[in-house]
């Protein structure tokens, strides 16, 4: 191979084929002081791709708050790290694997899990959490069902093999995701604060060591050809750019790397993710202000005829790059051999500040590491407000939105809608109790875990309503942060930090860039108000197919903490006679609601804004009531409004920790094995339904900052004292096996909880 390889130069045509522009090629020529070699050009094409360089988003992301007293590591490393007390910290991160999953759903989703888990343990943290946020087109389309099955199967396969609990997530279905599904993978891990490792190369003469799987051609061009372009008729041709995962090798890699880190056998470590060896080596070199010499011919290969540019940009999975001293090299090799992993010295740290690639003694690339990793061109597209954006909510009248004749039937129709219906059929494919720390399982507002040998705990949520962000990206993104925090507060946890995955269309289009700017501003304002800094994240652009963009979907993942995890609660009604109280806003809106889509087939209007001052007060007093052990349950009102939230509290009252009954038709209720219902009165039409004065809006309209709680009758007085001036009122009481709703004593509907349950669990029959 050495004799046959020609270290050829590359022209502008080659640059364009690799995804670069003519201007970028000219800039590269200036840096390289002449035409680059093909290896150099291939390396630039990956590192200057949108996926790796963030060239469109970097000017905007600086708006995020990133510091706080708990933050030990903010953006810029493999994962953010947050102090959670008693010497413990949590590393967390979310990333997209959208395009690979659209091309090959099983492997795309599986390797998305594997990649984000590597970001966690490369910091020295033991992964203890997996979550996901998924978006597909409508399930009436066979291809969408194929994608859904493949993605859920890939997540289950990889996570279950690793022994990492998948404790929560969300799945939505909208037409805008039909050509470009979204697969956002989130992970977190526990670490002692004195064991944190960062991906910074240092120590002139230290070895560069490649650990893990052999390198093949899978994933070549994944970050540029696949992740940084729109989809078109060439979709199937991009299948070779999808990586192939091996979770059993990753499990060995986790154990070996954590041993190396905790025994202080490595100087630093970085996983080989997007752009493979290129990104890890250049980023470690740039952060450490040193150079790296990489001998590509020493890299263990699965395919013998690979060229050096292929080796450098391959995205083969389950590989880590470590900096190791000469004194520790033998011990590192012994650890890797014990875990049956390849451990190969492929280079050395130098003082050159250059990334130099060698091939059988010939230098085939010589690139300034900082120019490559941190100084890509920055592009700021002039933003344009889309024409469809309106400034006023829709006018709800009987002509455009005729009220339903049967409100009970409207409720069961909503409960059966794919965006609201139970996703138990999905999360029961995941192992959510492995490691024996899970205290609140999927299906709740938030996932809760204990921290062993302490009284402390942690909780996680992820949220985003893409339809709301489409109608108003500023308000929708702000609401996503507020809801993620509210879900944690409903479980009794204090929200402390955010990781985000910002999914948008083509940033070269002014309308998309406007959506992005507005969403970032909304997230930033909400994070500042709620004191939840952004510690890590991912931007995924070019989520378009045939020119049609997805809904803007800035997914928010959030961490909450407990000083005493025993105070956590869930949303299930507990005892007949408990009083049901609504905290927060009263009126519901039609705009952007699930009711608007399901009942009327429309998506229009302007979603309500979040009153951040009220949101902060509600969450603070809700947590105080939970910590004082005044509440039996708490549940956020989200899609489907107040009526759906009440129905969900009734349905889960009959479950044992969220598990499905052997006989779903058998009557159940809270503590004695039968379902509990509720009798509620919505009050006056003017207060409950807003200006429109319609019962259906009171029931199914949506608004932020609303929570349903239950309290024992004898504790109503103490609860009122804690809530103080926070808007709240009694809705009714927990009763037998019916949900009965009235307005000013006029009955609106009565539906048995069995009927509600049947509708809520009906989605698998349609898959």
Q: If you average pLDDT over every residue of the chain, what do you get?
A: 92
Nearest-CA neighbor of 533 among 200, 136, 160, 66?
66
Tell me what pLDDT residue 298 has.
Answer: 97
Instruction: Kindly list the domain boundaries of the chain, sorted by start residue.
Output: 569-767
Dist CA 640 CA 715 (whole Å): 29
Closest CA to 49 of 183, 206, 180, 223: 223
CB 444 within 8 A of CB 635: no
Q: Which residues pair with 166 in a beta bridge?
A: 130
- Per residue in 103-141, pLDDT (tens digit) is 899 999 999 999 999 999 999 999 999 999 999 999 999
Segment 399-425 shows an average pLDDT of 96
Residue 659's pLDDT is 35
pLDDT digits (tens, 9 = 90+) for 315-350: 999 999 999 999 999 999 999 999 999 999 999 999
pLDDT greater than 60 at residue 232: no
Check pLDDT > 60 for residue 663: no
Q: Which of 27, 51, 56, 635 is catalytic?
A: 51
pLDDT score of 664: 38
In this structure, how many other beta carbons lie within 10 angstroms of the beta carbon of residue 760? 23
Class of 569-767 per CATH? Answer: alpha beta
Token pair recorded at residue 656: 């044992």
Task: Please write the tens of the pLDDT for every residue from 55-76.
Answer: 999 999 999 999 999 999 999 9
Packing angle, helices 716-723 and 612-627, rounded to 10:
140
Is the pLDDT confidence value at 233 over 60?
Answer: no
Tokens standing for 415? Answer: 């409960």
Stretch (H or E) spanning 45: helix 38-47
Which pLDDT score is estimated for 10?
84
Q: Tell me if residue 207 is catalytic.
A: no
Instruction: Put residue 332 in one of left, alpha, beta given phi > 0 → left and psi -120 to 50 → alpha.
Output: alpha
Alpha helices by DSSP H, listed for 545-611, are 594-600
Handedness of CA 175, 171, 183, 541 (dihedral sign): positive
Residue pointed to by tokens 């809904």: 551
**pLDDT tens digit sequence for 3-51:** 466 778 888 999 998 889 999 999 999 999 999 999 999 999 999 988 8
Provide the 8-state DSSP code for 404: P
With 50 as the cut, is the pLDDT of residue 484 above it?
yes
| Model confidence, pTM | 0.94
Give the model's pLDDT for residue 684. 64
Q: What b-and-e string marks burial along 124-137, b requiring 16 or more CB atoms within 10 Å of the CB? A: bbbbbbbbbbbbbb
Is 757 known to be catalytic? no
| CA–CA distance, 461 with 446 (Å, rounded to integer) | 5
DSSP 75: B
* C-beta of residue 298 within 8 angstroms of C-beta of residue 346: yes
For the stretch 548-564, pLDDT in tens is 999 999 999 999 999 99
When pLDDT is averaged across residues 584-594 and rounded to a whole number, the result is: 90
Residues in the chain: 767
- pLDDT value, residue 275: 86
- pLDDT for position 660: 34
Closest CA to 633 of 559, 581, 565: 581
Taking residues 508-520, what's their average pLDDT?
A: 98
| Nearest alpha carbon to residue 528 among 615, 625, 624, 623 | 615
- Given this model, what pLDDT does residue 231 score? 52
Using alpha carbons, select from 26, 2, 1, 31 the residue that is nearest to residue 12. Answer: 26
Residue 622 half-sphere exposure, CB side, CA atoms within 13 Å? 36
CA distance 411 to 419: 14
- Which is more confidently placed, 194 or 561? 561
Main-chain dihedrals φ then ψ at residue 710, nearest 5 degrees: -125, 150
Beta bridge partners, 450, equal 457
Give the pLDDT score at 658: 38
Spatial separation of the C-alpha atoms in residues 499 and 478, rounded to whole Å = 14
Q: Tell me, what's the pLDDT at 655?
A: 67
Q: How far apart are CA 372 and CA 733, in angstroms?
A: 63
Q: pLDDT over 90 for what percent of the chain?
A: 84
Amino acid 654: pLDDT: 81
- In the numeric block, which tokens belong to residue 158? 């990889």
Given the residues 27, 97, 99, 207, the one annotated as active site: 97
Residue 692's pLDDT is 57
pLDDT band at 546 (very low <50, low <70, confident <90, very high): confident
């Amino acid at each position: 191979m050495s004799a046959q390889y020609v270290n050829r130069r590359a022209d502008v045509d080659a640059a364009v084929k690799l995804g670069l522009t003519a201007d970028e090629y000219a800039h590269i020529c200036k840096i390289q002081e002449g035409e680059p070699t093909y290896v150099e050009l291939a390396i630039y094409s990956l590192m200057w791709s949108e996926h790796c360089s963030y060239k469109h988003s970097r000017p905007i992301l600086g708006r995020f708050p990133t510091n706080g007293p708990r933050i030990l590591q903010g953006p810029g490393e493999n994962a953010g790290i947050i102090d959670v007390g008693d010497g413990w910290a949590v590393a967390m991160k979310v990333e997209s694997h959208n395009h690979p999953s659209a091309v090959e759903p099983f492997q795309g989703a599986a390797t998305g899990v594997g990649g984000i888990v590597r970001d966690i343990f490369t910091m020295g943290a033991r992964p203890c959490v997996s979550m996901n946020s998924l978006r597909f087109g409508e399930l009436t389309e066979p291809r969408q069902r194929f994608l859904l099955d493949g993605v859920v199967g890939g997540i289950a396969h990889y996570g279950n093999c690793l022994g990492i609990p998948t404790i929560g997530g969300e799945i939505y279905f909208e037409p805008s995701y039909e050509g470009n599904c979204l697969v956002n993978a989130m992970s977190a891990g526990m670490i002692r604060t004195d064991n944190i490792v960062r991906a910074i190369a240092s120590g002139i003469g230290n070895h560069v060591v490649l650990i893990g799987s052999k390198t093949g051609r899978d994933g070549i061009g994944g970050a540029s050809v696949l992740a940084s372009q729109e989809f078109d008729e060439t979709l199937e041709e991009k299948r070779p750019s999808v990586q192939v995962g091996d979770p059993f090798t990753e499990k060995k890699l986790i154990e070996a790397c954590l041993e190396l880190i905790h025994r202080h056998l490595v100087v630093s470590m970085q996983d080989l993710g997007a752009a493979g060896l290129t990104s890890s080596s250049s980023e470690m070199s740039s952060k450490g202000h040193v150079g790296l010499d990489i001998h590509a011919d020493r890299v263990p290969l699965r395919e013998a005829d690979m060229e050096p540019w292929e080796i450098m940009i391959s995205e083969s999975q389950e590989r880590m790059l470590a900096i190791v001293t000469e004194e520790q090299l033998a011990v590192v090799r012994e650890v890797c051999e014990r875990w049956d992993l390849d451990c190969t010295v492929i280079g050395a740290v130098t003082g050159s500040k250059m990334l130099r690639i060698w091939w059988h003694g010939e230098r085939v690339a010589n690139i300034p590491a900082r120019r490559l990793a941190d100084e890509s061109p920055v592009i700021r597209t002039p933003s344009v407000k889309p024409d469809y954006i309106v400034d006023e909510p829709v006018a709800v009248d009987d002509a455009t939105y005729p009220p339903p004749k049967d409100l009970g039937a409207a409720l069961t129709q909503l409960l059966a809608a794919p965006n609201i219906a139970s996703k138990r059929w999905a999360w029961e494919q995941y192992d959510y109790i492995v490691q024996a720390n899970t205290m609140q399982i999927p299906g709740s507002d938030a996932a809760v875990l204990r921290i062993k040998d302490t009284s402390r705990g942690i909780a996680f949520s992820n949220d985003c309503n893409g339809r709301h962000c489409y109608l108003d990206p500023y308000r929708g993104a702000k609401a996503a942060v507020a809801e993620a925090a509210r879900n944690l507060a409903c479980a009794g946890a204090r929200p402390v930090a955010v990781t985000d995955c910002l999914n948008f269309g083509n940033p070269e289009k002014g309308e998309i860039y406007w959506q992005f700017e507005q969403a970032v501003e909304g997230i930033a304002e909400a994070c500042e108000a709620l004191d939840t800094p952004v510690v890590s994240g991912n931007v995924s652009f070019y989520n378009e197919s045939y020119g049609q963009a997805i809904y803007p979907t800035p997914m928010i993942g959030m961490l909450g903490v407990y000083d005493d995890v025993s105070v956590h609660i869930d949303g299930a009604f507990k005892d007949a006679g408990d009083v049901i109280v609504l905290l927060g806003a009263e009126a519901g809106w039609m705009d952007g609601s699930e009711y608007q889509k399901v009942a009327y087939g429309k998506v229009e209007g302007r979603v309500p804004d979040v009153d951040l001052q009220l949101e902060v007060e509600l969450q603070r007093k809700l947590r105080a009531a939970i910590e004082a052990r005044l509440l039996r349950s708490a549940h956020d009102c989200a899609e489907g409004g107040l009526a759906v939230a009440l129905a969900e509290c009734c349905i889960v009252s009959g479950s044992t920790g969220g598990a499905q009954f052997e006989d779903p038709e058998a009557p159940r209720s809270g503590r004695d094995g039968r379902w509990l219902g509720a009798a509620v009165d919505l009050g006056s039409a003017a207060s409950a339904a807003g200006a429109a004065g319609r019962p259906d809006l009171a029931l199914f309209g949506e608004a932020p900052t609303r929570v349903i709680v239950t309290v024992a009758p004898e504790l109503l007085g103490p609860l009122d004292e804690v809530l103080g001036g926070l808007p709240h009122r009694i809705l009714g009481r927990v009763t037998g096996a019916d949900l009965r709703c009235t307005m000013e004593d006029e009955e609106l509907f009565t539906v048995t909880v069995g009927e509600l349950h049947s509708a809520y669990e009906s989605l698998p029959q349609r898959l």
